[in-house]
Homo-oligomer: A and B are copies of this chain.
Amino acid sequence: MNVFIVHAHPEPKSFNTALRDLSVNVLEKEGHSVTLSDLYAMNFNPVAGPDDFRDRADPDYLVYALEQRHGWETKTLAPDILAETGKLLWCDLLILHFPLYWFSVPAIMKGWIDRVLVSGLTYGGRRFYDRGGLKGKRAMVTCTLGGREHMLDRDEAIHGRLTDMLKPLLQGTLAYTGMTVLPPFAAWHVPYVDDTTRAGYLETYADRLAKLDSLSPVAYPSLDDFDDKMTPR
């Protein structure tokens, strides 16, 4: 299996980085090939803009998704984008490693999503959800949080469920592009817990990495249940 890890954390010594290193080590030991994009180390540019296109369908008026489509067809996207789309196409499993900032990914990773999940490649027209361009690949989110588990483990929890907070990422992004979404892995209350608790998180995570195939994916919409206008049948 080819595994593409995208990682975003401003502290190279962070516990989040330890989880990422665990991903690399466990998966390589099992014989998988692993490629890593460490967005902070790469100084990745997260800002979607006109410089992302070496040739424009409309030089006078930028509709970002439409230029992505043109740039993908004509292979004129910026080189840093094409480097990432290459890794994405290569992989069977994508793992996003990040600390939860405002119940979402840090901006540098949002920019990776905005710029790399190119229209025309990952979706377009009626190609999304189970007809998305990345169908056949799996995706998993591995995040660290300041909050405690009971604040995000049920509808009545103060923030509701973590999977609902992550809906734009899990459903609106990963499932939208056709990927099969594995349940997210969360390490809770990380800046405040002791070393024993952190060691426990590492153990639980190593265990999960060893049995990815036994995880039930999160269920997301199928276009079979909607008509051509995307109205429920």
How many copies altogether?
A: 2
Contacts A65-B146, A230-B151: A168 and B102 contacting too (C-beta < 8 A)?
yes
Q: Which residues of A in the span 46-61 have a Cβ within 8 Å of any Cβ on B? A: 46-50, 60-61
Kindly state the separation between the CA atoms of A13 and B63 in the bound complex, as whole angstroms: 10
* Contact in complex: B107, A61 (CB < 8 Å): no
- Per-residue CB contact flags for chain A residues 62-89 toward chain B (1 = under 8 Å, else 0) read 1111100000000000000000000000
Tell yes or no: A136 within 8 A of B by CB: no
User: What interface size band does chain A fall in?
Assistant: 35 or more
- Which of A29-37, A152-160, A203-211 lies at the binding interface? A152-160
Tell yes or no: A183 within 8 A of B by CB: no
Tell yes or no: A200 within 8 A of B by CB: no
Chain B positions within 8 Å of A90 at CB level? none
* Contact in complex: A167, B160 (CB < 8 Å): yes
Kindly state the separation between the CA atoms of A113 and B146 in the bound complex, as whole angstroms: 17
Chain B positions within 8 Å of A108 at CB level? 46-48, 107, 111
